[in-house]
Amino acid sequence: MNTPQPNCFAAARGLWTLTWRTKLTWKRLLPLIGNMAAIPAFASFVIEPGEVRNFYYILIDLYLFLVVPIFCLSNFGAMIRDELQGDTMTFLITRPVTRARVFLLKYVALTLWLQIIVFGNGVAFWAAGSFLRVPDIGSLITLLIMVQALAVVAFGALTSLIGLFTQKYLIAGVVYGFIVEFGIGQIPTNINVLSISRHLKTFMARNPELASLYDWTTEGSWSSLMIVLGGTVLFLLLGALLFTFREYHHTEEVQKGSWTGRVSRTLRPSHKRGVKPLNVRDVKVIGTSPTHRAIVGVFIKVITDEPGPLRCWIRQLRLPLLRSENSIGETHGTVFGSGRTLTVLRIFWQWNYVRSYWRNGSVTNVIQTALDSALWDIKGKRAGSRSTNF
């Protein structure tokens, strides 16, 4: 019997609930409100009423082109890294949802949350602009809200990809900003199309005061929109592919450089120390009484791709043969059928338990125990030590 697959809407709803409940806690509520009101309050205190030019400098140069990209970098770059550091990524990638879909849905959920935050920033700037008597402040803030919404989408896709590439995503993002946004984006040639900020300027140029102050033009607005949206799709596709085919581990994320990190590096998977990785080819159920479908003696045989004494590992159970075959068949189809290298055995446990139809049943639990002990024995054999020493 096949395990029912959840629809995309249910997964998106679950990740959205997880996102806002994680972000909107009592400890984070006051800092959240303070962050939304900090820059507008600063502008209200340091600018005299009627000094429109200084208000524009704070709104555009400081907020839109500096604070918003850094805000996206700190949130989207940590989108996957926070899950790894909290050791919760395993519970996401072992759900019956593809890794690419998990990545994209987390991006959508975090984008919706940040859109709420930047909308609050826009309202705060409207209040500050009204206090400072900025002319036509309503249309300016409306344009700002639309442009910063596009900026969050584009910068979010880019910085989430940077976060997948390196743990030092903050440094990598700052380097990118200086080279591309502040460097290439200022070059008056066609190469400045690589800068997201350059395209955002064409949209902000629809405000006459900003166009006159910064000497911006609205020429090529539609092409800029297509480039920004196309780049966003490209960044998301690359991020989904990278998250699908690259393995991320909790120990490598949080223990690097510490004493425990040095110990963990000595216990890393053997294929990283020059030994061929060990893959599980197949898991077979062998019944001692095939014609009798009730309680029989069942052998669980784990077959690896390495010849010699590690080629197979057998554990004897006493279980119903039919249900044993079904449970092993589901495990084989989800884990071993893909040729996965089981260096992190808890991931195997998650896959087997979550994907199994007979979840938390006696058959699944006993089979899980047999397979888990066999895999630990194999790992100990390759390490040249008893598995009880781990």
Tens digit of each residue's pLDDT (9 = 90 or more) over 47-81 = 888 788 999 999 999 999 999 999 999 999 988 88
The H or E element containing residue 63 is: none
255 touches 264 (CB < 8 A): yes
The closest of 278, 270, 285 to 324, measured between CA atoms, is 285
Q: Where in the chain is the domain with CATH 3.30.390.10?
A: 275-389
pLDDT score for 36: 84
Beta strands in 243-386 (DSSP E): 280-287, 295-304, 312-320
Positions of the chain with pLDDT under 50: 1-4, 255, 257-273, 311, 330, 332-335, 337-338
80 touches 164 (CB < 8 A): yes
Return the exposure string of 44-78: e unless at least 16 CB atoms fall within 10 Å of the residue's CB, then b.
beebeeeebeebbbbbbeebbbebbbebbbebbbb
Where does 275-389 sit in CATH, by number?
3.30.390.10
55 touches 40 (CB < 8 A): no
Place of tokens 């800068």: 195
pLDDT score for 350: 62
Give 300's strand partners. 285, 315
CA pair distance 271, 390, nearest whole angstrom: 18
pLDDT score for 271: 43
Residue 352 burial (10 A CB sphere; 0-12, 13-18, 19+): buried
* Entry pTM: 0.69
pLDDT score for 144: 94
Give the sign of the dihedral formed by CA 302, CA 334, CA 278, CA 281.
positive
Name the DSSP letter for residue 387. G
The closest of 321, 309, 301, 281 to 382, measured between CA atoms, is 309
Give the sign of the dihedral formed by CA 104, CA 87, CA 344, CA 167.
positive
Neighbour count for residue 42 (Cβ, 10 Å): 13
pLDDT score for 261: 42
Instruction: Give me 222's structure tokens.
Output: 């539609």
pLDDT score for 81: 83
pLDDT score for 70: 93
The closest of 96, 101, 99 to 354, measured between CA atoms, is 96
Give 286's strand partners. 299
Give 301's strand partners. 284, 314
pLDDT score for 270: 43
Give the sign of the dihedral formed by CA 285, CA 291, CA 293, CA 295.
negative
pLDDT score for 302: 73
pLDDT score for 200: 93
